[in-house]
Structure 1
Amino acid sequence: MSFDPAQVLRLAHETLDIEAAAVLGLKSRLGDGFVVAVELMLGVSGRVVVMGMGKSGHVGRKIAATLASTGTPAMFVHPAEASHGDLGMIQRQDVVLAISNSGESDELIAIVPLLKRLGAPLVAMTGHAGSTLARHADVVLDSGVEKEACPLNLAPTASTTAQLALGDALAVALLDARGFRAEDFARSHPGGALGRRLLTRVADIMRSGDEVPCVVPQASFSELMREMTRKGLGASAIANEDGQVLGIFTDGDLRRLVETGRDLRELKARDVMHAHPRHIRDDVLAAEAAQAMEKHRITVLLVLDAGGRLIGAINSNDLMRAKVI
């Protein structure tokens, strides 16, 4: 066995060319059948049941997962298991999406009569329009390819890529027709990065109560420094006795103040604070806090209620710990 780097790259380039051509070739064959398939899946009162054997089965699992995560209830049922009891998972109100490049997979063909008797609409995704599966389907989606990327033209490569792309096309068309939004996607992905960005609110991660550094305007400079050091936020709010925020003092302000050479011992909090500090509400998304910090080049935001009273604070470290940024 010899290893030829040039041959490796040539085959890799050829594989990508063949598979790209296979996907692009689907465009000219999309028509009324695709629209009908989307209408069936959009109007289903049950679920889209995806089925497939072998490599088509692996693709089918991914298609079912994509449909489910984008607003279309879906699940994968293995055709062989369906013949041994799992067919009971499929109901009349479901739509079946059966995937087979040849359209002659024995395990699929064996249960087609049962599916027809059940009355669930059957959508076939196949590379052979004259196959047994296609002839018995209510709708046929042509996923055929001219050739596989495999040099032997045997291993499913371009055909499975075409199936996957066609499944994505179904999912995208369906999510658009459903008016599916980013917030809907986040609700089905609460553990993912997008879910955290879209579902986490400032109230979920802000510091509150005694964790929020705050001094009155007449506090001495040393009192202000002790409060900032204890709370570790990198800033302190300055508020009156009623909690109305008057200003803020940050680590950056401290560095700039030291550079002036002023006698810090004589200063009060009101003398060094920045009035009208940037702030945010506790009911907004934490992602908006991150955007505000980036826009204004700051690392701390005070959280105020509708009356301008201090109820919390948040900094960039809080956002990073919550994996919002």
Structure 2
Amino acid sequence: MLERAKAIIRQEAAALETLSNRIDEHICMLADYILSSSGIVVVCGIGKSRLVGDRISAILTSTGTRSITLDPVDALHGDIGRVRAGDVIIALSNSGETAELMQFIRAVRQLPVMVAAITGRANASLAQSADLVVDIGPIQEACALGLAPTTSTIAMAAMGDALALVLHERRGFTRQDFARLHPGGSLGRELMRVGDLMWPLEAIPVFRPDTPLSLALLSICRAPRKLGVGAVLCERGKVIGILTGESIGQLVDRGATPDLNDPVERHMQPPLTAISGHAFLNQAAELFRRCESELIPVHDDQERFVGLISRRDVLKPS
């Protein structure tokens, strides 16, 4: 069984290699048409092709190309109303002869839409009805019977990936765009900026270096958000130290009695490092792994203090 499993994967990999040599300018023509269209990309197919279509549409949508999937059977019973003039229809069928799909294509032709076919038979009915054909060529399925859609669906999916990623690169789709569309989960967290997760300046008491310790601790206790910290700033607005209620408490626990009239600079902890609010969270995580600080000051483009980022917030499990 292991040898057979390896052979199946090798067969599918070989099919993708063949596909990479077979692909031609038609995929570029399709990409150019989508880029110039004001409509959305409607991906459709029957059976396993519909499942591949779901994946293609999801990749398109997540990389900046508006797309929906449409079941041709549902479309023939009212859902064709989802299609609008100017949309691009991508129809998936290895055989190119799927009856329900062909009926849908004939019906949708009542609208001024562009129809592209991704198929394994360039002379099939679907190809003849399409404005543009992306031909994946004749493909032998990995199934021992040569029947179960396996290699052909992988080829269609790979063609969809190629189209989606060419489009995303041509659009100049950035990490910021990707983060906007993927705000949840570990992926969204990885693409977040420090400024999105920091404790903002408005929530942090700030002091001059000569502020009495008593007033600083009172400000920390009265702060709207009970963060237990304050920042010491110089005249230029740059952070030169961090005061934490925890550090004062540790002094008391050791039997020391801090003079509440002391200037706060005697009890502050100079920051070991700082980070820009524009930095990504993975950069902040790397800083925390390199230093022992629980808090890192965040600055703007002029290196003015704008907030604090916490080790616990950055390194906590996603």
1:87 paired with 2:87, answer: no
Give per-residue Cα distances to partners, 1:139-190, cap 9 Å, x unaligned. Answer: 1111234311111111000010101000000001111111111111111112
Secondary structure, counterpart of 1:314 in structure 2:
strand
Alpha carbons of structure 1 residues 203 and 150: separation in structure 2 relative to 1, 3 Å: closer
Q: 1:119 deviation in Å?
A: 2.7
Aligned to 1:315: 310
Alpha carbons of structure 1 residues 56 and 76: separation in structure 2 relative to 1, 3 Å: same
Aligned to 1:4: none
Pairing 1:109-258 to 2, within 5 Å after superposition: 109-202=102-195, 204-206=197-199, 237-238=231-232, 245-248=239-242
2:11 to 18, 24, 28: 18
> What is the alpha-carbon distance in structure 2 between the residues aligned to residue 105 and residue 314 of structure 1?
57
1:300 to 295, 302, 307: 295
Aligned AA for 2:45?
Answer: G
Aligned AA for 2:46?
Answer: M
> What is the alpha-carbon distance in structure 1 between the residues aligned to residue 165 and residue 69 of structure 2?
19
> What is the alpha-carbon distance in structure 2 between the residues aligned to residue 177 and residue 77 of structure 1?
26
Aligned AA for 1:78?
Answer: D
8 Å CA contact 1:51, 1:96 repeated in 2: yes
8 Å CA contact 1:124, 1:137 repeated in 2: yes
Q: 1:234 deviation in Å?
A: 9.7
Aligned AA for 1:39?
Answer: D
Aligned AA for 2:124?
Answer: S
1:104 paired with 2:97, answer: yes
Aligned to 2:71: 78
Give per-residue Cα distances to partners, 1:123-142, cap 9 Å, x unaligned. Answer: 10001111110111111111
Give per-residue Cα distances to partners, 1:220-268, cap 9 Å, x unaligned. Answer: 7xx99xx89xx998987555899874434789x99xx9xxxxx997998
Give TM-score, length-normalised by structure 2. 0.79
1:55 paired with 2:54, answer: no
Q: 1:39 deviation in Å?
A: 1.2
Alpha carbons of structure 1 residues 285 and 114: separation in structure 2 relative to 1, 3 Å: same
Q: Which runs of 5+ in 1 are unaligned?
A: 1-6, 258-262
1:39 paired with 2:38, answer: no
8 Å CA contact 1:127, 1:142 repeated in 2: yes
1:279 to 264, 270, 274: 274
8 Å CA contact 2:44, 2:89 repeated in 1: yes
Aligned AA for 2:313?
Answer: D
Q: 1:199 deviation in Å?
A: 3.9
> What is the alpha-carbon distance in structure 1 between the residues aligned to residue 208 and residue 150 of structure 2?
67
Aligned AA for 1:284?
Answer: H
Q: 1:75 deviation in Å?
A: 0.6
Secondary structure, counterpart of 2:162 in structure 1:
helix
> What is the alpha-carbon distance in structure 2 between the residues aligned to residue 74 and residue 169 of structure 1?
15
Q: 1:277 deviation in Å?
A: 4.9
User: Alignment RMSD, CA only?
Assistant: 4.1
Give per-residue Cα distances to partners, 1:88-113, cap 9 Å, x unaligned. Answer: 21122001100001000010111222
Secondary structure, counterpart of 1:156 in structure 2:
coil
Q: 1:313 deviation in Å?
A: 2.6
Q: 1:117 deviation in Å?
A: 3.4
8 Å CA contact 1:52, 1:79 repeated in 2: yes
> What is the alpha-carbon distance in structure 2 between the residues aligned to residue 307 and residue 182 of structure 1?
24
Q: 1:80 deviation in Å?
A: 0.8
Secondary structure, counterpart of 1:28 in structure 2:
helix
> What is the alpha-carbon distance in structure 1 between the residues aligned to residue 302 and residue 95 of structure 2?
68
Aligned AA for 1:55?
Answer: K
Aligned AA for 2:241?
Answer: G
Secondary structure, counterpart of 2:110 in structure 1:
helix
- In the alignment of these two chains, the number of paired residues is 311
> What is the alpha-carbon distance in structure 2 between the residues aligned to residue 26 and residue 308 of structure 1?
52
> What is the alpha-carbon distance in structure 2 between the residues aligned to residue 42 and residue 203 of structure 1?
32
> What is the alpha-carbon distance in structure 1 between the residues aligned to residue 300 and residue 65 of structure 2?
39
